[in-house]
């Protein structure tokens, strides 16, 4: 059985980025490499929150980013997810925005995905926040996924 990966908004955004600074170029290259070589090895999932964030405003690459994720199964956002997101915000784990980082974490934890894939280092893939998240999740009876960037999540095709 393939492992599950919740694809957070920063991943398709990086895939289509037109920024030319070295960090953005690196994230775009790593994301595209992961998408072509690794995505087929996992069960990739997203949520309505990802789609809402990608649809917000107008920006270069928006249509391509939306097309990239269309067809991926969506995890539902229900009262349990919203309650957990509120708890994360109340515990100062992430900013108080229920359609942002708190929601992505809650969706991944409530639905027990194996990995949360993101380029958000400040609020999500931050080892300094992981211990806090684990403590909150233990109190809530939730599992904590591995929170990784595309360059960290690499599986050899012949060794699942």
Looking at residue 45, the DSSP 8-state letter turns out to be E
Q: Predicted confidence band at 8 (pLDDT cuts at 50, 70, 90)?
A: very high
Q: Report if residue 71 sits inside a domain.
A: yes
Q: Report if residue 155 sits inside a domain.
A: no
Q: Report if residue 96 sits inside a domain.
A: yes
pLDDT at 158 > cutoff 80: no
Q: Report if residue 85 sits inside a domain.
A: yes
Widest CA span in the chain: 43
Domain total of the chain: 1
Q: Are 17 and 62 in contact (CB under 8 A)?
A: no
Could you tell me the CATH number of the domain that includes residue 57?
Answer: 3.40.50.1010
pLDDT digits (tens, 9 = 90+) for 58-114: 999 999 999 999 999 999 999 999 999 999 999 999 877 656 899 999 999 999 999
Q: Report if residue 159 sits inside a domain.
A: no
Looking at residue 39, the DSSP 8-state letter turns out to be G
Domain housing 85: 4-148
Over the chain, what is the mean pLDDT?
94
Q: What is the dihedral of CA 48, 53, 58, 61, to 10 degrees?
A: -90
Q: Decide: pTM greater than 0.85.
A: yes
How far is the C-alpha of 11 from the C-alpha of 35, rounded, in Å? 9
pLDDT digits (tens, 9 = 90+) for 125-144: 999 999 999 999 999 999 99
Q: Predicted confidence band at 150 (pLDDT cuts at 50, 70, 90)?
A: very high
pLDDT at residue 1, as a whole number = 87
């Amino acid at each position: 059985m393939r492992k599950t990966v919740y694809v957070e908004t920063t991943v398709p955004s990086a895939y289509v980025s037109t920024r030319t600074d070295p960090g953005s170029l690196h994230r775009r290259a790593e994301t595209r490499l992961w998408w072509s070589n690794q995505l087929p090895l996992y069960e990739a999932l997203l949520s309505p929150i990802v789609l809402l964030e990608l649809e917000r405003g107008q920006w270069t690459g928006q249509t391509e980013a939306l097309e990239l994720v269309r067809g991926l199964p969506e995890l539902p956002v229900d009262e349990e997810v919203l309650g957990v997101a509120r708890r994360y915000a109340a515990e100062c784990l992430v900013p108080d925005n229920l359609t942002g980082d708190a929601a992505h974490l809650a969706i991944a934890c409530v639905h027990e995905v194996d990995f949360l894939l993101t380029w958000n280092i400040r609020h999500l893939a931050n080892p300094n926040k992981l211990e806090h998240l684990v403590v909150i999740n233990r109190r809530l009876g939730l599992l904590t996924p591995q929170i990784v960037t595309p360059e960290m999540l690499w599986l050899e095709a012949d060794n699942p």
